[in-house]
Structure 1
Amino acid sequence: MPSVRGRKSPVADWVDCDKQEKQTNPKSKRPTWPSRAPMVKKRTALVDMTNAHKVHISLPGRKKKQEVKKKSNPSLSENNQAEQQRLSSDSSEGQASGNTDKEKEEAEAAPAGKPAVCNVQPHLLRPQIPSEFDVDSENRDDCFMCPEYAKDIFDYLKSREEKFVLRNYMCQQPNINDGMRAILVDWLVEVQENFELYHETLYLAVKLTDHFLARTPIQRDTLQLVGSTAMLLASKFEERDPPYVEHFLYICDDAYTRQQVVDMEVRILQVLSFDIGIPIAYRFLRRYAKCAGVGIDTLTLARYFCELSLMDMELALERSSLLASACLLLALCTKHLPGWPPILEFHSGYSISEVASTVRKLYPVVVQPPNELKAIHSKYSHEVFFRVASLPLVDFDVLEKTLSPETSPEVPSHAVVNS
């Protein structure tokens, strides 16, 4: 193979030509524009784009400087120009002094120590949060917590749930069923744990998968491609350092090609109209747990219940905020804590009677999870998650007293407590 060390780079040839041209023609100038090319006006790349030079601010106690043009009127003599300048400067000084005196009088008339009050229209005023329900004032010095907008943010997320109401789509999917979907969710939990992704990524990936399947029939061998691509999209949306496409090809055992993943990514975005900011239950759960002031062990137990609910198709149809409320209420009852205090009713917007029906749907899923799908159970059996998967669940009769204390419960046949 010939050596490339002796070759001269094109850049070096260009430099030598430039030097040779300077030696032959020392008075050579920069190349001019072509005759047909438009002339470009020279300017600085970063100029003052704030229009600050057009704004004149008059400060009290300072005289305005009148800019005098060199040639105001070519028909006047020099004496007339000087007289005109003197008169204009006197009038501007008098006006500035008058403005200063007026501002001083207004400042003296205003009460000391009281800032100016801006009148805001009534419909723009934010509702005041009662002091007993204020859980964000403790973070008023932390700008990253957004204490002024925390409740407004979650109220907005709750209002967006109206746009993402999910229906049971299995009747329109002849090639897949609820069991296949549960297997896919169990596999996504393993992917989230192996890649050490955020829990928000897992919940969003399941939401993207459900909403895509609700609008597009697929084949059985495409289900894993949809789930892995949804996890890729959710990683790009939530993660700081999302995995690459090659990582998902590896965990799929090279069952798909890179082009298939990219095509499915485009297809999911087009079907969902690029609106993938779907409210998820995990965010509501953390917010409600903070409002209730529960410990990290109770929150982890509620997270375990909420993650088990991802595999059940009936619970997937529930609103995320309502599902989070049901998981937290079941965790509070399991920990023998007050069921649904008024602060949770205020921040969630749900009464205990509205949450009760979802809790009754969640209870059998937690009592008897699928035997062959153990990813979530083994995950929350670790000491990092306080081994909450091995905690005994609350009895159904005790739970029913909390949900509807005025009625006597009827224990269903499936209500068997884990030991």
Structure 2
Amino acid sequence: MKENEEVRLCQVFANAQLSVKDVDEEYDDMPLLCSGFVKDIYKYLHQLEVEQPIRGNYMQGYEINARMRALLIDWMVQVHSTFNLLQETLYLSVAVLDRFLQVQPVSRQKLQLVGVTAMLVASKYEELSPPIVGDFAYITDSAFTNAQILEMEQLVLKTLNFQLGRPLPLHFLRRASKLANRPWALVTTQCDTERHMLAKYLMELTLIDYEMVHYRPSEIAAAALCLSQLLLNGLPWSPTQEHYSTYDEAHLKPIMQHMAKNVVKVNGGKTKFKAVRNKYSSSKLMKISLIPQLKSSLISNMAAALTAP
């Protein structure tokens, strides 16, 4: 009887494996897409995010708090838009900020200095033509000098041991959107531009949420896409998406609840930090933060567990 059960389970597992398409095989003749290496690349990125974690509630006992961090990042989003920087630069700036602060507490007077320095470091890493140090000093209304920013830059880089390669949610979202939009995919996994843009908005809102700092970039990306397709098309997380993201929908649910909470707070005027919402209300970004689905019962019900008094 036991042997029969084992055989049955093996067969179920085998069938599940066969039902998952190889999303890269169609690109074997396109070397620039690295189809032969992409699975190993993302395996390595998953490994990196584990090796470079951010602890939950790392500011416990600090002089600074979650609200000060949110105020800083809301300002950084505005600076990022002012300088017209790459999306990667914003995410890396926040990652550098959190990774530094979790091992190097600073006073509230120096918090903005750390933030602007994190953006300088991220700009040098990601941008072809990064703003110069003087630009960052100017954007702080000259609250800090070039010399202070450069001194903080040295401290940040030494503290992080010059390891700036922590993967970003954007890296995983692009992969997830690509596999969800294959020509052979079922309608339940199609991913269009609007769905991708909504996922980006949901991800960017998480930057301000201190309660979400401990989630891995791959988890943030998967949850954002899962919630996006649920809101726009009522589509569940497919076996293919589960296989390649390594997360099932049950694992993503608590993260989606936090994302829904963020949407409810920013739409309901329960937060002063609206830079991300304002940014995504522009025509350039499809006015995605204004779509009616973000005020639906699905969002409010999902957020209820975290917003109830």
TM-score by length of 2: 0.84
Q: How does 1:112-191 map to 2 (within 5 A)?
A: 132-167=20-55, 168-174=57-63, 176-191=64-79
Identify the residue that residue 283 of structure 1 maps to in structure 2.
171
For residue 180 of structure 1, report the CA deviation from its aligned partner. 0.8
1:139 CA drift (Å): 3.5
Matched, 1:308 2:196: no
Once the 2 structures are TM-superposed, how far is the Cα of residue 290 of structure 1 from its aligned partner? Answer: 1.3
**Following the alignment from structure 1 to structure 2, what is the Cα–Cα distance between the partners of residues 154 and 399?**
34
- Rounded to whole Å, the distance in 1 between the matches of 2:77 and 2:284 is 16
> What letter corresponds to residue 302 of structure 1 in structure 2?
A
Flag the structure with larger Rg. Answer: 1
Which one scores higher on RCO, CA 8 angstroms, separation ≥ 6? 2
Aligned CA distance change for structure 1 residues 224 and 147 (closer, same or farther; 3 Å)? same
CA distances 1:106-145 after superposition (whole Å, capped 9, x unpaired)? xxxxxxxxxxxxxxxxxxxxxxx96952223344444332
Aligned equivalent of 2:128: 240
8 A contact 1:333–1:399 mirrored in 2: no
Distance 1:398 1:229, change over 3 A: closer
1:225 is aligned to 2:113: yes
Deviation at 1:337, TM superposition (A): 4.0
Q: Aligned residue for 1:364?
A: 261
> How far apart are 1:356 and its partner, in Å?
1.3
Equivalent position amino acid for 1:238 in 2: E
Shift of 1:371: 3.2
Q: Distance in 2 between matches of 1:368 and 1:197?
A: 27
* Aligned with 1:381 (options 281, 290, 301): 281
Greater fraction helix: 2
Asked if structure 1 preserves the Cα contact closer than 8 Å seen for 2:20 and 2:243, the reply is no
Which residue of the other structure, out of 292, 297, 307, is the alignment partner of 1:395?
297
Inter-CA distance 131–414: structure 2 relative to 1 (3 Å threshold)? closer
Supply the distance in 2 between the matched residues of 1:139 and 1:205 (Cα, whole angstroms): 33
Partner Cα separation in structure 2 for residue 366 and residue 210 of structure 1? 22
* TM-score of the superposed pair, with normalisation by structure 1: 0.63
Whole-angstrom CA distance in 1 between matches of 2:249 and 2:179: 16
Deviation at 1:414, TM superposition (A): 3.9
Which runs of 5 or more structure 2 residues have no equivalent in the other structure?
1-16, 182-190
Write the letter of the residue equivalent to 1:345: E
- Post-superposition shift, 1:398? 9.8
Q: Give the C-alpha shift of residue 238 in structure 1.
A: 1.0
**Amino acid of the residue matched to residue 330 of structure 1?**
L
Amino acid at match of 2:288: V
Stretches of structure 1 that go unaligned for 5 or more consecutive residues are: 1-128, 401-409
Shift of 1:399: 7.3
Q: Secondary structure at the match of 1:171?
A: coil
Quote the offset at 1:383 in angstroms: 1.0
